[in-house]
Amino acid sequence: MAADEKAQAKTEQAKGKIKEVAGRTVGNERLTAEGRTDQAKGDARQAKEKVKDALTD
């Protein structure tokens, strides 16, 4: 997995988790949903990179 793509995926996942927790804490459903979306984007990016790695090995 390319180091920069891996870092981006982890950053997106962490950012999403923070947003989700913050949204739950203050009762903001929109922020919670945004957090889940960011996490899903990070997961998708990570999965894409894993597939690329598997194909090149």
Q: For residue 3, is it within any domain?
A: no
- Predicted confidence at residue 39, as pLDDT, reads 96
In a domain, 33, yes or no: yes
Q: Which of the residues in the chain have pLDDT under 50?
A: none
pLDDT given at position 56: 83
- Provide the domain limits for residue 27: 9-54
Residue 45 within any structural domain of the chain:
yes
Q: How many separate domains does the chain show?
A: 1
Give a yes or no: residue 32 inside a domain: yes
User: Is 17 part of a structural domain of the chain?
Assistant: yes
> CA 33 to CA 15: how far, in whole Å?
12
Position 39 in a domain: yes
Q: Is 36 part of a structural domain of the chain?
A: yes
CB atoms within 10 A of CB 43: 14
Asked whether residue 31 is domain-assigned, the answer is yes
Rounded Cα gap, residues 18 and 48, in angstroms: 23
pTM over 0.75: yes
